[in-house]
Amino acid sequence: MSAVSSPPSESIQTRSPGREIASIAVPVSLEMVLQLVLTFVNQVIVGTLGAVAVAAVGLAGSVSFLFFATLGALGSGTSILVARRAGAGDRAGVNGTLTVALVVSLLLAGLATAPVILGAGGLLRLAGGAPDVTATAIPYLRVAMLSLVPGMLGWILSGALRSLGHARTPMVATMLTVAVESLAAVGLVFGVGPLPELGVVGAAWALVIAQTLKAALLAYLVYGPRRLAAFALPAPGQRRAVTGPLLTLSAPIGLTEFLWSLGGFMYAAVFARVGTQALAASQIVGTLEGIFVVGSFGLMSAATVLIGRALGAGDGPGARAWLGRVGRVGGLTGLGFGLLFALSGLLLPLLFPAVGADVRAIALGGILINAATQVVKVRNMILGGGALPSVGDGKGVITGDVVGAFVVGLPLAIFLGLYTPLGVWGVFLARVLDELAKVAIFEWRRRRVNWVGLAEAQRGALAGD
């Protein structure tokens, strides 16, 4: 693939390190906060229907998230490769990588959707929720899975835009779709005006509408009048050179995301076995925590993009320096957003009056426990979601996720939650120990990275295309 004289990121190379990080991290974090606020708004809307409805949506979400997170690895792999190509000034490589990623994601998401819709009942019964929770969750999951294809396309296009120096564009698209989904959720859940009253399922249809709109809007912004990229498959002789690295990077990320989301599903199953109140409270805690922890989510994207650009330009020490800068910012944001998360517990009676005092009491305790570990969770995002995948250390990420969730966290959650008087508090504690084990492994793998060798290998690989 031929290089061009001016890489897409050339215009942003003169920014200070702080502004460079902020130019990527702030729009991405705002975008994710908007998405989580939307999820929270929908949960509040569904919460007016009672604790069973909240538990059902959370249970269904833990299943659908398995597929969203796993296939979303293609977006991460695309972002890394586009960042490297942009750093090397290879416009044809950017086009080919993005096109192949969109085609592959379309096929894989399409193949995953039908079996999940058909097997929704069996998947949800595995979680062991109460019969009324499972019965409510089944139709929600079947509709929500229709958003998988447009959701994956939008995720890949968003990642590519960030790597090309247009991090604010996905944020603007998200702002528009957040408004649409909020209005659609209210209308379809309660039957406002000419819209049918669908109850819980109405929130799922709102999700489908919003994801479809977002994918279409992002595609227009990438391929429309601005021509940020061209939809062009690589030449037959070069397709393997694009597809191979994409799958090589995405497969380990996909496995780690699957293991992580599988762990989330299994934690939800443990909460469900503790009781419907515990499950409903855990979903409230998770949604509220998401709003605050994703305030630091953009740092993961910043690490991915900035490390990828530096490696693509053959600058190993520069890539290591970017990780240090992003990590220091992450420590500060973890402290700040962790405090705000703890304070959010004061709003539970106002936000969830219909779920009951017992559910709110459990949720408050869970918020305080989880808020104490926000710095660790942000560090895990930066290392496990950004830095280690960017340097090709999928093994390190897999090791951290497997040991954290399946060796430490889940066994303790089952034992403490189901076989000791701690009950639901034991499950929350086990999740904290999961994160601590994970960060220890990620830090160990970080110290083993050969930054200079990686940069030289990447420079040689791009020169040979």
Encoded tokens for 231 = 């939809």
pLDDT score recorded for residue 241:
66
Rg (the chain; Cα; Å): 22
Report yes or no on 8 lying in a domain: no
Domain that holds residue 309: 18-463
**Number of domains within the chain:** 1
Cα–Cα distances in angstroms (integers) from residue 165 to residues 56, 96, 169, in the given order: 39, 18, 9
pLDDT score recorded for residue 437:
95
- Higher pLDDT, residue 259 or 111: 111
In contact, 134 and 59? CB cutoff 8 Å: yes
Report yes or no on 4 lying in a domain: no
Q: Residues 412-434: what's their mean pLDDT?
A: 94
Please, what is the average pLDDT of the chain? 81
Report yes or no on 428 lying in a domain: yes
Distance CA 389, CA 77 (A): 8
pLDDT in tens, 7-22: 444 444 456 777 777 7
Distance CA 305, CA 25 (A): 10
Report yes or no on 24 lying in a domain: yes
pLDDT band at 2 (very low <50, low <70, confident <90, very high): very low
Encoded tokens for 262 = 């599988």
pLDDT band at 421 (very low <50, low <70, confident <90, very high): very high
Report yes or no on 11 lying in a domain: no
Q: Residues 49-55: what's their mean pLDDT?
A: 77
- Residue 4, pLDDT > 70, answer no
pLDDT band at 121 (very low <50, low <70, confident <90, very high): confident
Report yes or no on 308 lying in a domain: yes
Distance CA 311, CA 454 (A): 7
Distance CA 325, CA 382 (A): 11
Distance CA 76, CA 72 (A): 7
Report yes or no on 452 lying in a domain: yes
Distance CA 290, CA 385 (A): 16
3-state SS, the chain, equals CCCCCCCCCHHHCCCCHHHHHHHHHHHHHHHHHHHHHHHHHHHHHHHCCCHHHHHHHHHHHHHHHHHHHHHCHHHHHHHHHHHHHHHHCCHHHHHHHHHHHHHHHHHHHHHHHHHHHHCHHHHHHHCCCCHHHHHHHHHHHHHHHHHHHHHHHHHHHHHHHHHCCCCHHHHHHHHHHHHHHHHHHHHHHHCCCCCCCCCHHHHHHHHHHHHHHHHHHHHHHHHCCCCCCCCCCCCHHHHHHHHHHHHHHHHHHHHHHHHHHHHHHHHHHHHHHHCHHHHHHHHHHHHHHHHHHHHHHHHHHHHHHHHHHHHHCCCHHHHHHHHHHHHHHHHHHHHHHHHHHHHHHHHHHHHCCCCCHHHHHHHHHHHHHHHCCHHHHHHHHHHHHHHHHHCCCHHHHHHHHHHHHHHHHHHHHHHHHHHCCCCHHHHHHHHHHHHHHHHHHHHHHHHCCCHHHHHHHHHHHHHCC
pLDDT in tens, 153-162: 988 888 788 7
pLDDT score recorded for residue 407:
94
Task: Tell me which range, 108-112, 177-181, 218-222, 405-409, is most confidently predicted by mean pLDDT.
Answer: 405-409
- Residue 442, pLDDT > 90, answer yes
Task: Tell me which range, 159-168, 322-331, 428-437, is most confidently predicted by mean pLDDT.
Answer: 428-437
